[in-house]
């Protein structure tokens, strides 16, 4: 499974990228607005940090303007993925970008039929929002499994990018459901490595080593 960081904080992305475990980044206008820097400048800075896909979202709601904005975003760097809403206008733009060889991430997906439309439009990624579905009494991870079954049945190339993941259990469920990628807020990414028994075991090992009086170097 690929791990993307859902953030526009350049310093934080750089720090997490040093782990060698970050495959890409997803952003949105809200995340970039919080950083207080020009949108295009922020995307360029993030693209310089990671080699993998960097999702940059259009602000338009009409296909023609989405195409204009997406073309501008795609000029920033070869790893830019144009992020589009899962509307008919967004799907029109997705189809046009697919024909141009420009990568897309169709976002705000909440049903398997929406994901099917995105795949038929030629989306590079589709982003089902797991946590937001859970908030409304639905099973977000069940949606991932449904999409996986449909995509495999019809051999779609569109990758499932599990979004709105709020804790490690969501990440585990997304992996078991067959999601190709997961986009994680930095705290969730950090939490993946945590377990109280790991901490307890390490403390015991370090204590025993200190008592031995030995050194490795």
Q: Does this model's pTM top 0.85?
A: yes
| pLDDT of amino acid 137 | 85
| pLDDT of amino acid 103 | 98
> Rounded CA gap, 189 and 187, in Å?
5
DSSP secondary-structure letter at 137? T
> Active site includes 83?
yes
With beta carbons less than 8 A apart as the criterion, state whether 58 and 73 touch. yes
| pLDDT of amino acid 29 | 87
| pLDDT of amino acid 161 | 98
CATH topology of domain 2-212: TIM Barrel (3.20.20)
How many other C-beta atoms can be found within 10 angstroms of the C-beta atom of residue 214?
A: 7
DSSP secondary-structure letter at 122? T
| pLDDT of amino acid 138 | 87
Out of 83, 120, 172, 211, pick the active-site residue: 83
DSSP β-ladder status, 104-109 and 125-128: parallel
* Helical residues (DSSP H) of the chain, grouped into ranges: 10-17, 29-35, 39-49, 63-74, 88-100, 112-120, 130-135, 140-154, 168-177, 186-191, 196-212
Using one digit for the tens of pLDDT, what is the confidence trace for 32-63?
A: 999 999 999 999 999 999 999 999 999 999 99
> Rounded CA gap, 113 and 128, in Å?
11
> Rounded CA gap, 34 and 16, in Å?
19
Give the position of tokens 């970008």: 97
> Rounded CA gap, 38 and 56, in Å?
13
DSSP secondary-structure letter at 118? H
| pLDDT of amino acid 206 | 95
Give the position of tokens 């830019």: 80
Domain ranges of the chain: 2-212
Low-confidence ranges of the chain (pLDDT < 50): none
Closest CA to 162 of 179, 187, 146, 145: 179
> Rounded CA gap, 88 and 179, in Å?
24
> Rounded CA gap, 52 and 2, in Å?
10
């Amino acid at each position: 499974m690929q791990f993307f960081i859902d953030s526009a904080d350049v310093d934080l992305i750089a720090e997490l990228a040093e782990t060698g475990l970050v495959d890409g980044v997803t952003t949105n206008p809200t995340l970039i607005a919080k950083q207080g820097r020009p949108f295009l400048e922020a995307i360029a800075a993030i693209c310089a940090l990671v080699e993998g896909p960097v999702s940059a979202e259009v602000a338009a709601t009409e296909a023609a303007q989405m195409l204009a904005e997406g073309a501008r975003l795609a000029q920033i760097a070869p790893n830019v993925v144009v992020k589009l809403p899962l509307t008919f206008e967004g799907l029109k733009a997705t189809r046009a970008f697919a024909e141009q060889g420009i990568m897309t991430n169709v976002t705000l997906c909440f049903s398997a039929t929406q994901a099917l439309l995105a795949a038929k439009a030629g989306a590079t990624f589709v982003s089902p929002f797991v946590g937001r579905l859970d908030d409304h009494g639905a099973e977000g991870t069940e949606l991932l499994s449904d999409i996986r079954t449909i995509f495999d049945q019809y051999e779609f190339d569109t990758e499932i990018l599990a979004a709105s993941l709020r804790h490690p259990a969501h990440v585990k469920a997304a992996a078991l459901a067959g999601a190709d990628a997961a986009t994680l807020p930095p705290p969730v990414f950090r939490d993946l490595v945590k377990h109280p028994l790991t901490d307890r075991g390490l403390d015991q090992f370090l204590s025993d080593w200190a008592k031995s009086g030995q050194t490795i170097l």
